[in-house]
Structure 1
Amino acid sequence: MFKKKDVIITGFALFAMLFGAGNLIFPPLVGFTNGDKWATGIIAFILTGVGFPLIAIFTSAFAGKNLDSFAIRVSPIFSKIFNIVLILSIGPLLALPRTGAVAFEMIFDKSSPSYMTQKIIFILVFFGIALLFSLKPNKVIDRVGAILTPTLLIVLAIIIFKGVFSPLGHGIDTHVATPFKQGFIDGYQTMDTLAAIVFSEIILKSIRKDKQLSQKQELSFLIQTSIIALGGLALVYGGLGFIGSTVSGILPANVDKVGILTTSVNMLLGNAGNIILAICVTGACITTAIGLIATVADYFSNLTRISYQLLAIVTTIISIIFAMFGVDIIVKISVPVLVFLYPIAIALIFLNLLKNTIKNDNIFVGTVIGTGLVSAYEALQVMGINIETLGNIYKVLPLQGLGLAWIVPAIVGGIIFKFIPKHN
């Protein structure tokens, strides 16, 4: 059996690994953008930022013995390629360097004459600390959950409590026609669904390391852990979303997403707000960085047989280099990648949820192809590449106004491929 203390610590750890800079910045943006319709936007944000990750944790954890099992029924080659791209995306090429870059840019003034020196020192110290915590993979969960997460929760609670019980203003009509769509798409920016697919394996590894549990007991442990982590995320998103809405009639419409958060905190807490925000941002980012370094090193260690410690160091070095380019460049690169990956990942999540009722692997293949065609076109759109013929087809796809244009092609692809004979 397991103790309640183990559940709480693991739940805090999962919360911390999922809660990065994007989770802190985007909820206030959703509230600010939607104004008096902030609740609708936040509900949609929670659906993609909490609902999909919750499903991802269970489906990926029990899809098979390891991460490769998640997409294996499409094909072994596809599974390897998908997982490598997924790991690199949430790892050293995109999400991991973003943690350090965002933490720095939210704390330090770009106009400072010593800005570059401050950046080099901060990034090196930030990733150095993250590396130290992640070098012992069997201690990652305990250390993150027991040491860093309580600090993060305390500073978040202070900000949200003040913002909710002493609101700065009230939400105004921001003339957003589709607040649900706005919040739904912004939820992708957390990258938590992608992260949850791989974090679930680390969570299970921690559960199994010193406990003899049946699969039923493991499922119970995972359910309780997820309720703590994702329930906490939903509360934080709701609080930050409300704070964003209260300044929708105060701040100028062209304020950036970082400015919404920093200005709101300063208005709520005065000069102390800067210090509290700095602790909050750094804590959120560094806990996520620890989980990402551990995840990347563990996966590629099993794939290549190179030592975990060496891969953790290499991952950290690459992340430091990319972090030096700054948030804007990292985000510019990440947007088309996320637009392409996210629908495929969600499709695979639901396929794995129904895997026991799907006997023909070709359904997996057709669903992924249908999804991939649409998400590839959307990625081209994001990069400014417009193909008129494809654009005309895209416009008539159902649900494209909700950002879900891939759903019908996914279903059609699965149905068509169902009638292709299964290879034994």
Structure 2
Amino acid sequence: MKRKQLNIVMIMGLALFATFFGAGNLIFPPYLGRNVGSSWMTGFIGFFIMDVGLATMGVLAVVMNQKGSIDGVVDKIGHIPGVICVTAIILCIGPGLCIPRTAATTYELGVKTMIPSMNHWVFGAVFFAIVLALTIRPNKVVDIVGKFLTPVLLAVMVIMIVKGIVAPIGHPVHIGGEVPLKEGMLSGYQTMDGIGGMLMTLMLITAAKGYGYTDKKSVSSLIAKAGIVSGVLLMLVYGGLTFLGATTSGNSAFAGLEEAPLLVAITNRLMGGAGVGILAVIVFLACLTTAIGLTSVAGNYFEELSGGRLKYSHLVVAMTIFSYLFSNVGLTKIISISAPILQIMYPTVLVLVLMSFFEKVIKDRMTTGFAAYTALVYEILALAASMGAPFGFVNSLPLSKFGLGWILPALIGGVVGSFFHGKHYAETIAELDSASGKKQYRKPASDDEMKKNKREAV
């Protein structure tokens, strides 16, 4: 039984790794490494925190909170706002941005370099036909990705990274003018892994049930261990890619290249003509596994949200078609659209995820809610300021130069929210638990009970 569980954890962990390791994960770490040079390790730490760290915490937050679900993480800002938050994230990392980006990246980094005459509309049709074929059966998604696609992806990545370590392009040099930690964090934003970490549990929960695990404790244990396996693999691969980029920092031939062309140039320098083919395989597998995982997650979520009225298979078909059409906008355009959305949403999600680990200590939802909403307001003002609005004061807050200016407002919001404890009872019923002697909270059973409770709270 222990060997069986270990195999399942490894398969789930590999599937989770492959789902996270997609389009942005290939192009951003080398670009980061080149831009920060000899400070690549500091930059990588920032990248790791805002990408792998938050993604893994998101997975753990879902399985460790008292409800053992995504609702347990986001309901602290209110049920309807929580649903809106999750829906927005699903659309952001799904058909709206990340899934189309996988096809765009595969075309620009792989197909375009090997078959320049290939039309991007034709390639996109083939790519998404494969995604649809491998996603239409939700119980098989983790097996397909974890057992078959990920091992090949890892093997090819190891070859490339080891080659870059044994015979580096050059030595990392000092680059002035950049804040490595901030650059790493901003690059971590762009991958979208952190913001979608808690949503990937939907795919893993479906897989765990398919393996015969149904009780909350067993499912939570499997997913938590899979999250750790995924985190370790991502750390090793991301670190290797960041180092490869850093080895080009002193070479003028690589200066000024954008994310995708830089990765192509590094691969060609390290592996010659064969590197083009190897890069094409890496890109295809990485992006395919991510597209499969995200499509499955989105399909599961919207089917559950609709109470089964929207069928998984219908949703997957619709999202695949939409993603295909949107992917032809182009990689650069998709990235430019994703940046402001992620800037606004990341801090709110981060606050909710972090507070999930302290819900036994901070039981009042108003504290978490105020902190999350304050972080959201700060990021909206910061984005407006970057576009010329008169909100420049947000850039003078502590840690703002590291992209963490929202921390102080969130802390203040949490303190303010703690003074509104009485309002908490308008949305929950406090009952004395006979076994522990402590208060337990539940949602009102009806609208009448909600109204009565609000009157009493006021």
TM over 0.5: yes
Query: Structure 2 counterpart of 1:415, which letter?
Result: V
Shift of 1:395: 2.7
Corresponding residue number in structure 2 for 1:299? 301
Q: CA offsets per residue over residues 331-374 of structure 1, 9 Å max, x none?
A: 12111100001111101111111112112111122111210111
Contact 2:367 2:415 in 1 (8 A): yes
Shift of 1:106: 1.0
Corresponding residue number in structure 1 for 2:32? 30
Q: CA offsets per residue over residues 27-57 of structure 1, 9 Å max, x none?
A: 1111101111111111221121211111111
Tell me, in whole angstroms, the C-alpha distance in 2 between the residues paired with 1:230 and 1:206. Answer: 19
Contact 2:23 2:287 in 1 (8 A): yes
Contact 2:36 2:43 in 1 (8 A): yes
Tell me, in whole angstroms, the C-alpha distance in 2 between the residues paired with 1:171 and 1:323. Answer: 35
Query: Structure 1 counterpart of 2:407, which letter?
Result: I
Query: Structure 1 counterpart of 2:273, which letter?
Result: N
Corresponding residue number in structure 2 for 1:209? 210
The 10-residue stretch of structure 1 (373-382 or 355-364) with the greater mean CA deviation from structure 2: 373-382
Corresponding residue number in structure 1 for 2:441? none
Corresponding residue number in structure 2 for 1:232? 233
Shift of 1:202: 1.8
Corresponding residue number in structure 2 for 1:69? 72
Contact 2:46 2:182 in 1 (8 A): yes
Corresponding residue number in structure 1 for 2:456? none
Corresponding residue number in structure 2 for 1:179? 180
Corresponding residue number in structure 2 for 1:170? 171
Shift of 1:229: 1.1
Corresponding residue number in structure 1 for 2:381? 377
1:333 to 2:337 alignment: yes
Contact 2:344 2:379 in 1 (8 A): yes
Tell me, in whole angstroms, the C-alpha distance in 2 between the residues paired with 1:354 and 1:246. Answer: 41
1:362 to 2:366 alignment: yes
Change in Cα spacing, 1:269 to 1:119, as seen in structure 2 (3 Å) is same
The secondary structure found in structure 1 opposite 2:76 is coil
Contact 1:134 1:294 in 2 (8 A): yes
Tell me, in whole angstroms, the C-alpha distance in 1 between the residues paired with 2:303 and 2:115. Answer: 41
Corresponding residue number in structure 1 for 2:449? none
The 10-residue stretch of structure 1 (210-219 or 139-148) with the greater mean CA deviation from structure 2: 210-219
1:92 to 2:110 alignment: no
1:102 to 2:121 alignment: no
Corresponding residue number in structure 1 for 2:14? 12
Change in Cα spacing, 1:332 to 1:243, as seen in structure 2 (3 Å) is same
Tell me, in whole angstroms, the C-alpha distance in 2 between the residues paired with 1:395 and 1:228. Answer: 37
The secondary structure found in structure 1 opposite 2:250 is coil
Tell me, in whole angstroms, the C-alpha distance in 2 between the residues paired with 1:38 and 1:208. Answer: 41
User: Mind listing any 5+ residue stretches in structure 1 that lack a counterpart?
Assistant: none
- Residues 186-265 of structure 1: pairs in structure 2 closer than 5 A: 186-212=187-213, 215-250=216-251, 251-265=253-267
Query: Structure 1 counterpart of 2:77, which letter?
Result: V
User: Mind listing any 5+ residue stretches in structure 2 that lack a counterpart?
Assistant: 426-458
Tell me, in whole angstroms, the C-alpha distance in 2 between the residues paired with 1:381 and 1:183. Answer: 22
Shift of 1:212: 4.0
Match of 2:323 among 319, 325, 329: 319
Corresponding residue number in structure 1 for 2:407? 407
Report % sequence identity.
35
State the structure with more CA Rg.
2
Shift of 1:423: 3.6
Shift of 1:6: 1.2
Query: Structure 2 counterpart of 1:85, which letter?
Result: A
Shift of 1:221: 2.4
Query: Structure 2 counterpart of 1:295, which letter?
Result: V
Q: CA offsets per residue over residues 175-195 of structure 1, 9 Å max, x none?
A: 144111111221111111122
Tell me, in whole angstroms, the C-alpha distance in 2 between the residues paired with 1:379 and 1:277. Answer: 35
The secondary structure found in structure 2 opposite 1:375 is helix
Contact 1:34 1:176 in 2 (8 A): no
Contact 1:170 1:247 in 2 (8 A): yes
Tell me, in whole angstroms, the C-alpha distance in 1 between the residues paired with 2:97 and 2:345. Answer: 13
Tell me, in whole angstroms, the C-alpha distance in 2 between the residues paired with 1:200 and 1:171. Answer: 38
Query: Structure 2 counterpart of 1:291, which letter?
Result: G
Shift of 1:419: 0.6
Q: CA offsets per residue over residues 40-83 of structure 1, 9 Å max, x none?
A: 11122112121111111100233335433321121111011111
Change in Cα spacing, 1:297 to 1:222, as seen in structure 2 (3 Å) is closer
Query: Structure 2 counterpart of 1:311, which letter?
Result: L
The secondary structure found in structure 1 opposite 2:360 is coil
Query: Structure 2 counterpart of 1:151, which letter?
Result: V
Q: CA offsets per residue over residues 168-214 of structure 1, 9 Å max, x none?
A: 11011221441111112211111111221100122123123333465
Tell me, in whole angstroms, the C-alpha distance in 2 between the residues paired with 1:315 and 1:216. Answer: 32
Change in Cα spacing, 1:239 to 1:423, as seen in structure 2 (3 Å) is closer
Tell me, in whole angstroms, the C-alpha distance in 1 between the residues paired with 2:6 and 2:113. Answer: 45
Aligned residues: 418
TM-score, with structure 1 as normaliser:
0.94
The secondary structure found in structure 1 opposite 2:39 is helix
Corresponding residue number in structure 1 for 2:396? 396
1:309 to 2:310 alignment: no
Q: CA offsets per residue over residues 101-142 of structure 1, 9 Å max, x none?
A: 111011244898845xx2011111111101111100011111
Contact 1:337 1:379 in 2 (8 A): no
Tell me, in whole angstroms, the C-alpha distance in 2 between the residues paired with 1:207 and 1:111. Answer: 39
TM-score, with structure 2 as normaliser:
0.88
Tell me, in whole angstroms, the C-alpha distance in 1 between the residues paired with 2:225 and 2:176. Answer: 40
Highest RCO, 1 vs 2 (Cα 8 Å, sep ≥ 6): 1
Alignment RMSD: 1.8
